[in-house]
């Protein structure tokens, strides 16, 4: 099997993790050995499961740093998946490239932009080196149009540009917005 890198990206609530789980289930049906990793800081639903906002789940190994992933991958694993990859540092680029070069199918899911609408972590660079990129859209919570942005809310008010980039949460802190309705006050 030829190695490859696939990136599933988009705003929060766009179905990235559901699509990742769908691909993993298909690989499992095809009797491919699958291993899934996620950042340890993402414990919103379950520390050892990749869980979508819609409730889909797949067993995963929590990892603190990207460089630990290769040491956890079994020799006979053909599909390696990484969810919430925006939380890893730039070393994830080398990790993914090396695994694909070894002949593995690497599937990465993560946010392409942060709550400010700026490129988020390593995802844009992973998109640049991937064989396949799928950018998914959510539904704007204001107008119902396709949403490409993630709006962070603090007490139902848009977060300020000076607020921290990484705050792990779900619908209690975030909603999907279109370009027109995405707000980041200075």
Q: Residue 82 — very low, low, confident or very high, per pLDDT cuts 50/70/90? A: very high
Tell me which of 84, 90, 175, 186 is the catalytic residue: 84
- Return d(Cα 83, Cα 66) in angstroms, integer: 12
Class of domain 4-137: alpha beta
Q: What is the mean pLDDT of residues 34-52?
A: 84
Q: Which of 144, 153, 136 is nearest to 178 (CA)?
A: 144
Burial 10-44 (b: 16+ CB within 10 A, else e): bbbbbbbbbbbbebbeebeeeebebbbbbbeebee
What integer pLDDT is reported at residue 64 of this predicted model? 95
What integer pLDDT is reported at residue 45 of this predicted model? 66
What integer pLDDT is reported at residue 38 of this predicted model? 95
What integer pLDDT is reported at residue 168 of this predicted model? 75
Q: Residue 1 — very low, low, confident or very high, per pLDDT cuts 50/70/90? A: low
The DSSP letter of residue 158 is: E
Indicate if the pLDDT at residue 4 is higher than 80.
Answer: yes
- Return d(Cα 179, Cα 181) in angstroms, integer: 6
Q: What is the mean pLDDT of residues 131-140?
A: 98
Q: Give the chain's mean pLDDT.
A: 93
144: left (phi over 0), alpha (psi -120 to 50) or beta: left
2-11, 94-103, 121-130, 152-161: which has the minimum mean pLDDT? 152-161
CA dihedral 27→25→64→110, nearest 10 degrees, is 100
Contact (Cβ atoms closer than 8 angstroms) between residue 82 and residue 58: no
- 84 in catalytic set: yes
Which two three-digit tokens encode residue 31? 């009797």
């Amino acid at each position: 099997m030829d190695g490859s890198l696939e990136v599933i990206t988009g705003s929060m609530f766009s179905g990235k993790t559901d699509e990742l789980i769908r691909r993993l289930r298909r690989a499992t049906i095809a009797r491919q050995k699958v291993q899934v990793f996620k950042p340890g800081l993402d414990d919103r639903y379950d520390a050892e499961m990749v869980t979508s906002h819609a409730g889909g789940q797949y067993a995963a190994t929590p990892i603190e740093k990207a460089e630990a992933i290769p040491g956890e991958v079994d020799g006979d694993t053909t599909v390696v998946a990484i969810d919430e990859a925006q939380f890893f540092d730039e070393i994830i680029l080398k990790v993914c490239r090396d695994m694909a070069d070894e002949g593995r199918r690497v599937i990465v899911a993560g946010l392409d932009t942060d709550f400010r609408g700026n490129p988020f972590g390593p995802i844009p660079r992973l998109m640049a080196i991937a064989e396949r990129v799928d950018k998914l859209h959510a539904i704007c919570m204001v107008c119902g149009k396709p949403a490409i942005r993630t709006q962070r809310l603090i007490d139902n008010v848009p977060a300020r540009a000076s607020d921290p980039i990484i705050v792990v949460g779900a619908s209690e802190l975030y909603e999907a917005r279109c370009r027109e309705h995405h707000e980041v006050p200075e």
